[in-house]
Chain A
Amino acid sequence: MTTDPVISAKNLSLTFQTNDGPVHALQDINLDINKGDFVSFIGPSGCGKTTFLRVMADLEKPTAGEITVNGVSAEEARKARAYGYVFQHAGLYPWRTIGGNIRLPLEIMGADKATQDQSVQEVLELVHLEGFENKFPWQLSGGMQQRASIARALAFHADILLMDEPFGALDEIVRDHLNEQLLELWARTNKTIGFVTHSIPEAVYLSTKIVVMSPRPGRTADVTESTLPKERPLDIRDSEEFIKIAHRVRDGLRAGHEDDA
Chain B
Amino acid sequence: MRGFWYRIGPVITVVIAIFVLWYAGAVALNSAWAYDKAKRAGVELTTSELIADTMSQKKPKLPPPHQVGAEIWKTTGDMVLRGKAFSKRSLLYHSWITLSSTLLGFVLGTALGIGLAVGIVYNRTMDMSIMPWVIASQTIPILAIAPMIIVVLNAIGISGLLPKAVISMYLSFFPVVVGMVKGLRSPDHMQLDQMKTWNANGNQEFWKLRLPSSMPYLFTSLKVAMAASLVGAIVGELPTGAVAGLGARLLGGSYYGQTIQIWSALLTAAALAAALVGIIGWIQTRVLKRMGMAQ
Asked whether A85 and B208 contact (CB < 8 A) given A94-B291, A95-B293, A138-B292, the answer is: no
Q: Are B190 and A89 in contact (CB under 8 A)?
A: yes
Asked whether A91 and B212 contact (CB < 8 A) given A79-B199, A108-B200, A136-B292, the answer is: no
Asked whether A95 and B292 contact (CB < 8 A) given A78-B199, A81-B199, A108-B208, the answer is: yes
**B293: A residues at CB distance < 8 A:** 94-95
Q: Is A251 an interface residue (CB 8 A)?
A: no
Q: Which of B192-229 contact A (CB under 8 A)?
A: 193-200, 204, 208-209, 212
Q: Mark A97-140, 1 if CB is under 8 A from B, else 0.
A: 00000001101110000000000000000000000000011100
Q: What is the distance, in angstroms, from B206's C-beta to the closest C-beta of chain A?
A: 12
Q: Are A94 and B190 in contact (CB under 8 A)?
A: no
Asked whether A91 and B199 contact (CB < 8 A) given A108-B204, A136-B292, the answer is: no
Q: Is B191 an interface residue (CB 8 A)?
A: yes
> How many angstroms from the CA of A33 to the CA of B80 in the assembled complex?
82
Q: What is the distance, in angstroms, from B295's C-beta to the closest C-beta of chain A?
A: 12
Q: Is A93 an interface residue (CB 8 A)?
A: yes
**B208: A residues at CB distance < 8 A:** 104, 107-108
Q: Mark B97-132, 1 if CB is under 8 A from A, else 0.
A: 000000000000000000000000000000000000
**A89: B residues at CB distance < 8 A:** 190
Number of A-B contacts (CB under 8 A): 51
CB < 8 Å neighbour of A95 from B191, B194, B212: B212
Q: Is A38 an interface residue (CB 8 A)?
A: no
- The chain B residue sitting closest to A152, CB to CB, is B194
CB < 8 Å neighbour of B193 from A59, A79, A105, A156: A59
**B198: A residues at CB distance < 8 A:** 81, 104-105, 108-109, 156
Q: Which of A56-100 contact B (CB under 8 A)?
A: 57-59, 78-79, 81, 83-85, 87, 89, 91, 93-95
> How many angstroms from the CA of A136 to the CA of B291 in the assembled complex?
9
Asked whether A91 and B204 contact (CB < 8 A) given A136-B292, A137-B292, the answer is: no
- The chain B residue sitting closest to A155, CB to CB, is B198
**B197: A residues at CB distance < 8 A:** 57, 59, 78, 83-85
Q: Are B194 and A85 in contact (CB under 8 A)?
A: yes
**A104: B residues at CB distance < 8 A:** 198, 208
> How many angstroms from the CA of A45 to the CA of B208 in the assembled complex?
33
Q: Are A78 and B194 in contact (CB under 8 A)?
A: no
Q: Which of B150-199 contact A (CB under 8 A)?
A: 190-191, 193-199
Residues of B in contact (CB 8 Å), total: 18
**A54: B residues at CB distance < 8 A:** 193
**A57: B residues at CB distance < 8 A:** 197
Q: Mark A26-58, 1 if CB is under 8 A from B, else 0.
A: 000000000000000000000000000010011
Q: Are A91 and B292 in contact (CB under 8 A)?
A: no
> How many angstroms from the CA of A78 to the CA of B195 in the assembled complex?
11
Q: Which of B238-287 contact A (CB under 8 A)?
A: none
Q: What is the distance, in angstroms, from B117's C-beta to the closest C-beta of chain A?
A: 20
> How many angstroms from the CA of A115 to the CA of B194 in the assembled complex?
21
Q: Are A59 and B292 in contact (CB under 8 A)?
A: no
- The chain A residue sitting closest to B200, CB to CB, is A108
CB < 8 Å neighbour of A94 from B199, B209, B292: B292
**A138: B residues at CB distance < 8 A:** 292
> How many angstroms from the CA of A156 to the CA of B197 in the assembled complex?
12
> How many angstroms from the CA of A109 to the CA of B194 in the assembled complex?
13
Q: Are B291 and A91 in contact (CB under 8 A)?
A: no
- The chain B residue sitting closest to A97, CB to CB, is B292
**B290: A residues at CB distance < 8 A:** 95
- The chain B residue sitting closest to A59, CB to CB, is B193
Q: Are B212 and A93 in contact (CB under 8 A)?
A: yes
- The chain B residue sitting closest to A107, CB to CB, is B208
A–B pairs, 30, beta carbons within 8 Å: A57-B197, A78-B197, A81-B198, A81-B199, A83-B197, A84-B197, A85-B193, A87-B190, A91-B190, A91-B191, A91-B194, A93-B209, A93-B212, A94-B292, A95-B212, A95-B291, A95-B293, A104-B198, A104-B208, A105-B198, A107-B204, A107-B208, A108-B195, A108-B198, A108-B204, A108-B208, A109-B198, A109-B199, A136-B292, A137-B292
Smallest CB-CB A-B distances: 10 pairs: A94-B292, A95-B291, A85-B197, A105-B198, A108-B200, A108-B198, A108-B204, A79-B199, A136-B292, A87-B190
Chain B contacts to A: CB under 8 angstroms: 190-191, 193-200, 204, 208-209, 212, 290-293
Given pairs A94-B291, A108-B200, 11 additional interface contacts (CB within 8 A) = A57-B197, A78-B197, A79-B199, A81-B199, A85-B193, A85-B194, A91-B190, A94-B293, A95-B290, A95-B293, A107-B208
